[in-house]
Chain A
Amino acid sequence: MDPISHIAFSYILNLGKGSLWLIIGSVILDFDKIFTYIQRKYRGHESRTFLSELPFVCLLIGLSTIINKDFAFGIISHYILDFLVGETKPFNPFQNNIVNFNLKTTHKIVLGAMIWLIGGILYTIF
């Protein structure tokens, strides 16, 4: 999913309470994509390193929940959206099974549009 969808999704799940830390948390897991994109790995699990998967992400969530809960929630929402919609290797680097729920492209587009729309409506209201 694109960064705007991740920000909107975290904003929706946080019930329309936005903050800078929530936004940073909801996009920071895509930081490793800078390196994978340089290597021309654009799609699915190829574009993800172990820094985007559960063993590392749960440590990040555990540490950040002590320091800043909005940041932690941004990370949680990011990983959930990627896990539900995309292709992940949840226990990479310890286990390399690929998880993909095989949602149709049209369903992904509709889901993305709904996230943008609901996020936009919430932002307008709050």
Chain B
Amino acid sequence: MADWRNTVHNILNHFLSPFEGLNISVNRVSWLSLCVSIIASILFRTKHAMLGIASIFIVLFLDSLDGFLARKRDTASIDGFIVDVACDRMSEFVIFHPHTIWTILAVVNTYMTILRIKYEKIPILPLRHVFMIITLIEIII
């Protein structure tokens, strides 16, 4: 599991390294990702699905960026992790509304996150990634 995570981190580091010098706090990046999630939610509900997918892509990019910046600045901490995962869970709730099944999955993910805070081995489901891919497939088909 640790090797798998390291590989993902290495790939992400490669793509995110141009943003290393950004003069913005890590928590502000998380804050921004939640704001973009609100925009994504509005776009989906106004039937602009492609723009919604693009917005989710930006949300996921910002989500990766905050973790990357925290690691690079050596400021990764439990406080930062809490901010990050809380933003992610709220982001899921706002993006998935009004889909009942996805919202219930977001509830399950919230409780998995609470367990993850206590036990590192508990996984957090990448629901927004899956939602983005499924929505994209639906549009193409």
Task: Please report A residues at the B interface, Cβ cutoff 8 Å.
Answer: 13, 15, 54-55, 58-59, 61-62, 65-66, 69, 72-73, 76-77, 79-80, 83-84, 88, 90-91, 94-95, 97, 99, 101
Contact = CB atoms under 8 A, between A and B. Distances in A.
A70 to B, nearest CB: 9
Contact of B97 (A59, A69, A83): A69
Interface of B is mostly: helix
B47 to A, nearest CB: 11
B65 interface: no
Contacts of B128: none
A69 B98 contact: yes
Contacts of A90: 82, 86, 89
A69 B12 CA distance: 37
Contacts of B72: none
A58 B113 CA distance: 12
B78 A13 contact: no
